[in-house]
Homo-oligomer: A and B are copies of this chain.
Amino acid sequence: MAGRILLLVLFMNAVFFIVNAVPETCPADLGGKCGEDGEWEGEFFPEVPKIKYEGPSSKNPLSYKWYNAEEVILGKKMKDWLRFSVAFWHTFRGTGADPFGAPTKYWPWEDGTNSIAMAKRRMRANFEFLSKLGVDRWCFHDRDIAPDGKTLKETNSNLDEVVALAKELQGDKIRPLWGTAQLFMHPRYMHGAATSSELGVYAYAAAQVKKAMEVTHYLGGENYVFWGGREGYQTLLNTDMERELDHMAKFLEAAAAYKKRIGFNGTLLIEPKPQEPTKHQYDWDAATTLNFLRKYGLLAEFKLNIECNHATLSGHSCHHDLETARINGMLGNIDANTGDPQVGWDTDQFLTDVGEATMVMISVIRNGGLAPGGFNFDAKLRRESTDVEDLFIAHISGMDTLARGLRNAAKLIEDGSLAELVSKRYSSFDTELGAQIEAGKADFEMLEKKAMEWGEPKVASAKQELAEMIFQSAL
Give Cα A101–Cα B467 distance, bound, in whole angstroms.
Answer: 23
Residues of B within 8 A of A144 (CB): 16
Residue contact A314 to B315, C-beta cutoff 8 Å: yes
Residue contact B245 to A327, C-beta cutoff 8 Å: yes
Is A3 interfacial (CB-CB < 8 Å)? yes
Give Cα A227–Cα B353 distance, bound, in whole angstroms.
Answer: 32
Binary flags per residue of A434-449, CB closer than 8 Å to B gives 1, else 0? 1001101011110110
From the candidates B147, B211, B279, B393, name the one contacting A340 in the complex (CB within 8 A).
Answer: B279
Output the least CB separation between A406 and chain B (Å): 15
Output the least CB separation between A474 and chain B (Å): 11
Give the interface segment out of A69-77, A171-179, A217-225, A247-255. A247-255
From the candidates B257, B354, B445, name the one contacting A355 in the complex (CB within 8 A).
Answer: B354
Output the least CB separation between A417 and chain B (Å): 8
Residue contact B352 to A385, C-beta cutoff 8 Å: no
Give the interface segment out of A39-47, A126-134, A283-291. A283-291
Residue contact A315 to B317, C-beta cutoff 8 Å: no
Residues of B within 8 A of A340 (CB): 279
From the candidates B59, B201, B359, B461, name the one contacting A459 in the complex (CB within 8 A).
Answer: B201
Binary flags per residue of A452-471, CB closer than 8 Å to B gives 1, else 0? 10111111111111111101
Residue contact A456 to B143, C-beta cutoff 8 Å: no
Residues of B within 8 A of A472 (CB): 352, 354, 397, 400-401
Residue contact A14 to B103, C-beta cutoff 8 Å: yes
Residue contact A315 to B342, C-beta cutoff 8 Å: yes
From the candidates B15, B23, B201, B255, name the one contacting A444 in the complex (CB within 8 A).
Answer: B255
Give the interface segment out of A300-308, A367-375, A419-427. A419-427
Residue contact A240 to B355, C-beta cutoff 8 Å: no
Residue contact B438 to A112, C-beta cutoff 8 Å: no
Residue contact B196 to A459, C-beta cutoff 8 Å: yes
Residue contact A428 to B197, C-beta cutoff 8 Å: yes
Residues of B within 8 A of A6 (CB): 111-113
Residues of B within 8 A of A462 (CB): 190-191, 197, 234, 238, 382, 384-385
Residue contact B458 to A89, C-beta cutoff 8 Å: no
Is A433 interfacial (CB-CB < 8 Å)? yes
Is A341 interfacial (CB-CB < 8 Å)? yes
Is A182 interfacial (CB-CB < 8 Å)? yes
Given contacts A112-B10, A151-B455, A428-B197, is CB(A24)–CB(B207) below 8 Å?
no
Give Cα A471–Cα B239 distance, bound, in whole angstroms.
Answer: 14
Given contacts A114-B13, A152-B451, A235-B468, is CB(A24)–CB(B96) below 8 Å?
no
In addition to A197-B460, A238-B463, 15 A-B residue pairs with Cβ atoms within 8 Å of each other are A6-B113, A8-B18, A8-B112, A10-B106, A25-B459, A101-B186, A191-B384, A197-B426, A203-B450, A236-B319, A237-B471, A258-B445, A275-B315, A352-B469, A381-B465
7 cross-chain CB contacts under 8 A? A4-B20, A14-B15, A20-B150, A241-B323, A290-B291, A312-B342, A314-B315
